[in-house]
Amino acid sequence: MEELGSLNIDNKTKNDITNIVEELRQYPYINAIILFGSYAKGRIKPISDIDICVITDKDINFEQKVAIVGLASDKLDISIFGELPLPIQFRVFREGKILFNRDWLTLHRIRIETVREYLDFLPIIERYINREFPKNHHGSIRQSKDH
């Protein structure tokens, strides 16, 4: 798990993440495990939890989903990629650190599909935000984040 080595995470947390990845990778229907959120970005605060996203086969059943999310704890949040909203799926790929991957070609295909869908949907999101929230002197909300 070379991705963990490059992150500024204490050894106990690295061990916790490594242990959960080792457990999850035993399930043959799990294709990839990605760390995202504050730990992946290196913006860890005392209240930060560990966000892990699991990319599975599309046809897993309820019991398999329960087995995955049942490994979560107060400090560890496990999400199933296919059940996340599109903007969060995009964030997983934009900021995430791959902890385990069974098939690079499948992961690459899912990444391309997610980015394509997100970029297709982005103008709709921006129109909604600009309509529902007042503009500031810099223009749209999206532009104002950069200032």
How many other C-beta atoms lie within 10 A of the C-beta of residue 142? 13
Residue 123 has pLDDT above 90, yes or no: no
- The owner of tokens 């991705």 is 3
Residue 117 domain-assigned (yes or no): no
Count up the domains in the chain and report the number.
1
Range(s) of the domain holding residue 13: 2-102
Q: Is 101 exposed, middle or buried (0-12, 13-18, 19+ CB in 10 A)?
A: middle
| Residues of the chain above pLDDT 70, percent | 88
For residue 139, the model assigns a pLDDT of 53
Residue 41 domain-assigned (yes or no): yes
Contact 71, 21 (CB under 8 A): no
For residue 146, the model assigns a pLDDT of 42
For residue 130, the model assigns a pLDDT of 86
Number of C-alpha atoms within 13 angstroms, CB side, residue 12? 1
Residue 128 domain-assigned (yes or no): no
For residue 90, the model assigns a pLDDT of 96
Mean pLDDT of the 58-70 span: 92
DSSP state of 81: G
